[in-house]
Amino acid sequence: MTSAHTSQDGSGVAPARVTDVRLRAVERADLELFFAFEQDPEAARRAVFPSRERERFMTHWENRVLGDPTGIHRTVVADGEVAGNIVCWEDEGRRLVGYWFGRSFWGRGVGTRALSQFLDLVEHRPLYADPFASNEASVRLLERCGFRHIPDPGPEHHLEPGQVLLVLER
């Protein structure tokens, strides 16, 4: 459980708020940091997403993310440091949004500001997100940015057990 007096990383120290959050185009050099962020066992546990080995990770980013002409992807920079990424892609006729932030940026206001900026860039609506319910910080981030829960999404959304579906329609 996170409060204003404890960190999400479990250190017990409240992290300093980030003062500047910007989005920029993804550069190939960013992929090494994105890979390192995905290797964090706590981040992988919260996302319910196993860390990939380096070659598989890089191939996915090169071919499926950066190689997707319909995709929108941005590097998140917080106080001059690469903090993570936000991506939007099409899956079976629906546009989804996803993100991954380095642990040192959790609980510092980066996610909310970055996702808000990203949603201003992405004009397509509705937008969907399908985090696992156990990733409470991710669900709260989506809710703060205007996503609402779809209570009974139906089998056409192909959710795994434990996933929830949220939508942004505005």
Phi, psi of 90 (to 5 degrees): -100, 135
Would you place residue 5 in the very low, low, confident or very high pLDDT band (cuts 50, 70, 90)?
very low
Convert the pLDDT of each residue in 52-78 to its tens digit.
999 999 999 999 999 999 999 999 999
**Does the pLDDT value for residue 6 go beyond 70?**
no
Residue 61: inside a domain, yes or no?
yes
What Rg do the C-alpha atoms of the chain give, in angstroms? Answer: 16
pLDDT of residue 125: 97
Q: Are 88 and 72 in contact (CB under 8 A)?
A: yes
Convert the pLDDT of each residue in 105-132 to its tens digit.
999 999 999 999 999 999 999 999 999 9
pLDDT of residue 106: 95
Query: Pick from 120, 100, 104: which is nearest to 18 by CA?
Result: 104
Residue 44: inside a domain, yes or no?
yes
Q: Are 18 and 76 in contact (CB under 8 A)?
A: no
What residues form DSSP beta bridges with 163? 132
How many independent structural domains does the chain possess? 1
Residue 142: inside a domain, yes or no?
no
Compare 51 and 157 and report the one with higher pLDDT.
51
Query: E strands within the chain?
Result: 21-25, 72-78, 81-91, 94-101, 127-129, 148-149, 166-168
pLDDT of residue 31: 98
Mean pLDDT of the chain: 90
Whichever domain contains 53, its CATH number is: 3.40.630.30
